[in-house]
Amino acid sequence: MKKGTHPENYRLVVFKDMSNDTMFLTKSTTATSETIKWEDGNEYPLIKVEISNTSHPFYTGKSMFVDTAGRIDKFKKKYAKN
């Protein structure tokens, strides 16, 4: 493989699926200022994601309604008949 193409600063990070509060610990280079205490008692950086394999319909086999940003309410308010 070509040298210098992959980052060297991998560290353990907790990813949290905001639609169902599932969390998992893995390595990542993503920057964040938030931290969370993990099951082992250590504190790790926290990355919040809107969807993961625990909530995506492809992996779960069922459709799930996710509206984390209030987009539907914003749409209804914008196009509501007075």
Which pLDDT score is estimated for 78?
81
Asked if residues 11 and 45 have their Cβ atoms less than 8 Å apart, the reply is yes
Q: What is the pLDDT of residues 32-65, one digit of tens each?
A: 999 999 999 999 999 998 877 777 666 566 765 6
| C-alpha distances out from residue 28 to 4, 40, 65, 69, Å | 17, 18, 28, 25
3-state SS, one letter per residue, for the chain? CCCCCCCCCCEEEEEEECCCCEEEEEEECCCCCCEEECCCCCEEEEEEECCCCCCCHHHHCCCCCCCCCCHHHHHHHHHCCC
- Of 62 and 13, the one with more pLDDT: 13
Confidence category of residue 8, pLDDT binned at 50, 70, 90: confident
Report the residue count for the chain.
Answer: 82
> Does the reported pTM lie above 0.75?
no
